Amino acid sequence: MSDDHDDHDSEHATERTTAPQSPYTIRAVAVGAAVAAVGVLVTFGVPLLLA
C-alpha cells in the first residue's frame, strides 16, 4: 500500500471543501451571472438574429 491515504499532518496538506453549502463571494456570483448571461445570449440571441 502507498502512503497516499495516511491521515497525518503535512506541510503540503490543505483544507479541501467541496460542499455546495460553502459561502459564495460576490465575485463568484458575478462571474456566474456573467457566464449565464453569455450562455443565454448565445442560446437565444444568435438564432433570433439568424432567423
Q: What is the pLDDT of residues 1-51, one digit of tens each?
A: 555 555 555 566 677 777 777 788 999 999 999 999 999 999 999 999 998
17 belongs to a structural domain:
no
41 belongs to a structural domain:
yes
Tell me what pLDDT residue 51 has. Answer: 86
Extract the C-alpha cell encoding 4.
497516499
Q: At which residue does the C-alpha cell 490543505 appear? A: 14
- Owning domain of residue 35: 25-51
4 belongs to a structural domain:
no
Number of domains in the chain: 1
